[in-house]
Amino acid sequence: MKKILFLDFDGVLFDTVEEAYQVAINTKIYKNRKLPLNSLDKFRKYRCLVGPAWNYYYVMEAIFNETKLKNSTTFIESNDTKEFEKDFFESRKDLKLSNYKFWLNLNKQYLFLEKLQKIEKSLDILIYIITTKDKQTVQDLLNEFKIDFINDDFILGKDSFNKYDSKKNIILQILNENDYKALFIDDLHEHLKLCEGIENLQLIQADWGYINEVNSSQYLYNINEAINAIKKL
């Protein structure tokens, strides 16, 4: 029987809020606009609503227009959001090229990743990263932080997400016709909820990540509880 661990990246392995903020405020549409007070705090508050990178468009609009976001139901993909997402990834590329050390220091690994790294050699588990982030950035961060226990082929980024339209569908592709026990850790409740009903898949919402307190769920685990669940898989 295969044992499989699916991990989100932002909000589970790394805290990337400050990095995403710097990328967003340096996109063409926002770089020459004066930022409202406490814009980073608001950005952090709304981070729990973000899935794909184009969602940041609505976060930035809410910050500049000083409106409140309660949920992501108003996030609709459009030509504007597609153009913003393209610009977002170009902005990230430029930031990395212009000052790589500064960019790197905007990303901080969670204690969960440090604890997982200490026990991974004792685990007979296949580990996948399933994320809406671009794969190259995930690889860059893992390499810089010397995280070498996740095979590059097992990093499924935004291209896979766009192809299959949801993390659920990616997971089902991997689990197809396998005899398995699996665990999926994500901080976004919506991604977990879609996976309800998948046989032999335990769901964990990372309480150390970007959690919307209004939408917190029965799947909430702290770091130690999540590590113990992995050991028991």
Q: How would you write the chain as a 3-class SS string?
A: CEEEEEECCECCCEECHHHHHHHHHCCCCCCCCCCCCCHHHHHHHHHHHCCCHHHHHHHHHHHHHCCCCCCCCCCCCCHHHHHHHHHHHHHHHHHHHHCHHHHHHCCEECHHHHHHHHHHHHCCCEEEEECCCCHHHHHHHHHHCCCCCCCHHHEECHHHHHHHCCHHHHHHHHHCCCCEEEEEEECCHHHHHHCCCCCCEEEEEECCCCCCHHHCCCCEECHHHHHHHHHHC
**What tens digit of pLDDT does each residue of 83-125 get?**
999 999 999 999 999 999 999 999 999 999 999 999 999 999 9
**Domain shared by 225 and 141, yes or no:** yes
Q: What is the mean pLDDT of residues 7-12?
A: 96
**Domain shared by 159 and 216, yes or no:** yes
**Domain shared by 79 and 119, yes or no:** no
**Domain shared by 80 and 92, yes or no:** yes
**Domain shared by 58 and 38, yes or no:** yes
**Domain shared by 168 and 225, yes or no:** yes
Range of the domain at 220: 2-15+108-232
**Domain shared by 98 and 132, yes or no:** no
**Domain shared by 57 and 133, yes or no:** no
Model-wide pTM > 0.85: yes
**Domain shared by 99 and 186, yes or no:** no
CATH of the domain at 212: 3.40.50.1000
**What tens digit of pLDDT does each residue of 181-228 get?**
999 999 998 899 999 999 999 999 999 999 887 666 889 999 999 999
